[in-house]
Amino acid sequence: MDNSLTLLGLLGVAPSYGYDLKHSYDRYFGLKKPLAFGQVYATLARMVRDGFLVETGTEAGGGPDRRRYEITPAGRERIAAWMFTPDVPSESLQSNLFAKTVVALLTDEDAGHLLDLQRAQHMQHMRALTRAKDGADIMHVLLYDHALFHIEADLRWIDLTSARLEAMKAQLK
């Protein structure tokens, strides 16, 4: 996820202060990894430099002055281009799990055991995500579903690969 474009998109809703913007980001996108304040302010400074934002005033606070940011027409164009450019699905041709499986087969280790361990880890993560969905708001339910569908695809690959280990080992020798 591109944090800078996501922040710019949030500013497309309404002008905001960096502090409030960080909290909005964390509310919607920072479930497991909130943004650091320093990252927010550095990103805002770059977007001002690049003409996507303007500072529209300051307000005195308990610490440094609070700066208010507003998106520019160029910023709105950048957000529209980002939103409506389809993401390319990951090909995952550099999969760590695939590499581990091949190395296990090449070194005569138990690739089936490796895949069983990975399957168990995936299942544990699936159960945790399924529990997290219980009582969650629709936004988080959709986020958890996205992760669950990716895990399901990995589990299908693990099952298929487990069934083909002997053929794969024969081809590698």
pLDDT tens-place string over residues 16-25 = 999 999 999 9
Range list of β-strands (E), 18-167: 53-59, 66-71
Does residue 48 surpass a pLDDT of 90? Answer: yes
Look at residue 91 and tell me if it is in a domain. Answer: no
79 shares its domain with 101: no
79 shares its domain with 10: yes
**Residue 21 is part of which domain span?**
3-83
Task: Give the H or E element holding residue 138.
Answer: helix 138-163
> What pLDDT shows up at residue 146?
94
Residue 36, classed as helix, strand or coil, is: coil
Locate 111 and state its tokens: 């690739």
68 shares its domain with 101: no
pLDDT (average), residues 126-141: 95
In the chain, the number of structural domains is: 2
19 shares its domain with 70: yes
67 shares its domain with 106: no
Last residue of a domain, one of 39, 62, 83: 83
pLDDT tens-place string over residues 67-123 = 899 999 999 999 999 999 887 777 766 688 998 999 999 999 999 999 999 999 999
Q: CB–CB of 10/21 below 8 Å?
A: yes
Residue whose C-alpha is closest to residue 78's, from 8, 162, 150: 8
Residue whose C-alpha is closest to residue 53's, from 32, 36, 69: 69
Does residue 64 surpass a pLDDT of 90? Answer: no
Rounded to 5 degrees, what are φ and ψ at 107?
Answer: -100, 15
> What pLDDT shows up at residue 110?
95
> What pLDDT shows up at residue 70?
95
Look at residue 89 and tell me if it is in a domain. Answer: no
| Residue 152 to residues 75, 92, 122, 156, 166, Cα–Cα distance (Å) | 37, 15, 8, 6, 23
CATH code of 57's domain: 1.10.10.10
> What pLDDT shows up at residue 63?
65
105 shares its domain with 149: yes
Last residue of a domain, one of 58, 83, 108: 83
78 shares its domain with 101: no
> What pLDDT shows up at residue 16?
93
Task: Give the H or E element holding residue 16.
Answer: strand 16-17
Does residue 130 surpass a pLDDT of 90? Answer: yes
The percent of residues above 90 in pLDDT, for the chain, comes to 74
